[in-house]
Amino acid sequence: MDSELIRYLIVCPLVFLAGFVDAMVGGGGFISLPGYLLTGMPVHLAIGTNKLSSSMGTTLATWRLARNGFIPWKQALFAVISALIGSQMGAYIALLIDAHIFKILMLVIIPLTSWYVFRSHSLGATEETGGKVVNHKNLICMAIGLVMGIYDGFYGPGTGTFMLLAFMGLANMNIKEANGITKAANLTTNFGALYVFFTHGTVDLMLGLTAGLFSIAGNYLGTRQFIGKQSFSVRPIILLVLTIFFVKTLMELI
């Protein structure tokens, strides 16, 4: 079978699944980026292409959540502006790092990520939290947007989940508000980083656009699940993909 076709057969289903997961609780990058890297794509090309497909799906998810009143725009604006700045900073840093160094970093990042996913309550069934008024909420949202923007531009997987937890824990928002702001800020980080990767020629347009259609479909179903308040645990799926990705990365380095 043609190697290019195999690449599409690996990436597109995983990107669809990533979009579904990301729309509900974030963490889709735990699935989509390893999906690209499993095909043997160079690290920087995989990250850039992943930004393209995830941007397409996140655009739909953000629009649907905004239309249903899940985005508190005042706090979202602060997070979006700082996230845009941070994502471009992170993307430039990523381009300076050699692909081999990236793989070594992944051998550290993947186990830590797996531990986080295993322990995180937000990746099980969704539940309502929050409600307490927090002082300086706008500044907190700005700080979260900047830090998570840098991380998303540099690497990316888990940005949505980390943002969601930060907004819920530090700004004490309920999951609806937190997910709404997360989608708006994450959309900004995706486009900010995508611009940097695109201008440096590290985006596979055809694969990214095709996978982006699958991301849109996954995000559509995921937002419908979230808006309908239907519970769904994504932890086993993410852990399986991370395990496969860790083994492949280790074998390549050996």
The string of pLDDT tens digits covering residues 9-68 is 999 999 999 999 888 767 788 789 889 988 989 888 999 999 999 999 999 999 998 998
Kindly state the average pLDDT of the residues 207-215. 97
How does pLDDT run across 130-159, given as a tens digit for each residue?
444 455 888 899 999 999 999 889 877 778
Distance CA 117, CA 236 (A): 9
C-alpha torsion 207→213→214→215, nearest 10: 100
Specify the pLDDT at position 16.
Answer: 96
The owner of tokens 């830590």 is: 112
Instruction: Tell me: pLDDT of 73 over 80.
Output: yes
Specify the pLDDT at position 125.
Answer: 47
Q: Pull the structure tokens for residue 68.
A: 């249903």
The residues, any chain, with a CB within 8 Å of residue 107's CB and separated by 6 or more, are 246, 249, 250, 253
Instruction: Tell me: pLDDT of 6 over 80.
Output: yes
Burial bucket for residue 253 (CB in 10 Å: 0-12, 13-18, 19+): exposed
The residues, any chain, with a CB within 8 Å of residue 169's CB and separated by 6 or more, are none
Specify the pLDDT at position 1.
Answer: 57
Specify the pLDDT at position 89.
Answer: 94
Top-confidence range, 59-68, 92-101, 170-179, 233-242:
59-68
How does pLDDT run across 92-131, given as a tens digit for each residue?
998 888 877 877 877 787 787 778 767 765 555 444 444 4
Q: Pull the structure tokens for residue 75.
A: 């706090």
Specify the pLDDT at position 216.
Answer: 97
166: Cα within 13 Å, side-chain hemisphere: 23
The residues, any chain, with a CB within 8 Å of residue 124's CB and separated by 6 or more, are 233, 235
Which stretches within 39-158 are classed as H helix? 43-67, 73-95, 99-119, 137-154
Specify the pLDDT at position 241.
Answer: 65
* Predicted TM-score of the model (pTM): 0.78
